[in-house]
Amino acid sequence: MGCGWRWGLAALAAGLLAAARPAVAEGVRLEVPTREGVAVSLFWESSAPAEGAQPGAGGMAAKGTVLLFPGAGGGFGRVVDGQATSRNFLVRSARGFIARGYDVAIFGKPSDKTELGYADRVAPAHLEDIHAVLAFVKARSPAPVWLVGTSRGTVSAAAAAIREGNAIAGLVLTSSIVSPDKPGSLPRQDLAAIRVPVLVLHHARDECRVTSPREVGEILRGLTAAPLKKLLLVDGGGPPLGEPCEALHWHGFIGMEAEAVQLITGWMERPVP
């Protein structure tokens, strides 16, 4: 008798072992048509495990979808092994949102731009792109959508919240742009037009000159029609690395990413003033 039966048993054991392992979802890069001849790159990862497993944390459907707007020039880096590679605070925290039962969509760059500047983020073309991506995300998942921006991404998120009205569940602004000399700075936008719950999360030690903690209160004062609004000033994490406006400094909640995600999702699940 040959050794074929041994190979058969080994293959069967390997198959059973693979079946016993928990299925893990991976993210994908998508191209979403927005304007004529233009598409926006979108990173998507579902909180549902891979095919054959139960969706969401604890077998439940997703609690919501977070549409994330990274800062700087935008984008989420390359997608390697199902993960976006940018060092941006929201991008590197994406798995934290997944772990807490949220689908994740990361807004990338439009095909007609190499980066998104301040003025670009309040331009009609950008808002049209966001509108199309939001419709795409809603078609992909029925979960309520929260817009979440960080740094320059808060310009996009706030502008979109003004345009989209009650089409979104709420807005989260982290490391917000508050310097009055920047186009789209939050205090310069029509914040009174936002009529959904808003969380403003900011690091008390943020040293970036365009996101000074001393000026963040202007955002809350402008949100006169928001049904609920909350400012959370945090002081933790570290050690900071690089320049004050970069992703691995206090500006990017370095060393406290998990805590920041917990604060964000906890408030989204139970918004309080």
Query: What is the model's pLDDT at position 60?
Result: 59
Q: Which two tokens stand for residue 128?
A: 């049209």
Low pLDDT (below 70) residues in the chain:
1-25, 49-60
Q: Which of 252, 44, 13, 180 is nearest to 5 (CA)?
A: 13
Query: What is the model's pLDDT at position 114?
Result: 96
Beta bridge partners of 28: 44
Residue at 230: amino acid letter:
K
Query: What is the model's pLDDT at position 48?
Result: 79
Q: Which of 129, 114, 203 is nearest to 159 (CA)?
A: 129
Query: What is the model's pLDDT at position 133?
Result: 98
Output the CA–CA distances (angstroms, integers) from residue 68 to 16, 20, 93, 253, in the order listed: 38, 33, 10, 16
Question: Is the peptide bond preceding residue 239 cis, with omega within 30 degrees of 0?
Answer: yes
d(CA 147, CA 132): 14
Query: What is the model's pLDDT at position 49?
Result: 61
226 HSE (CA, 13 A, CB side): 29
Largest CA distance in the chain: 83
Q: List, in order of start, the domains of the chain with CATH numbers.
A: 24-269 (3.40.50.1820)
Output the CA–CA distances (angstroms, integers) from residue 13 to 1, 24, 27, 98, in the order listed: 21, 20, 29, 31
pTM above 0.75, yes or no: yes
Write the DSSP assignment of 18-68 as a string of letters: HHHSPP----EEEEEE-STT-EEEEEEE-SS-STTS--SGGGPPPSEEEEE
**Helix 124-140 crosses helix 153-164 at what angle (to 10 degrees)?**
80
Residue at 56: amino acid letter:
G
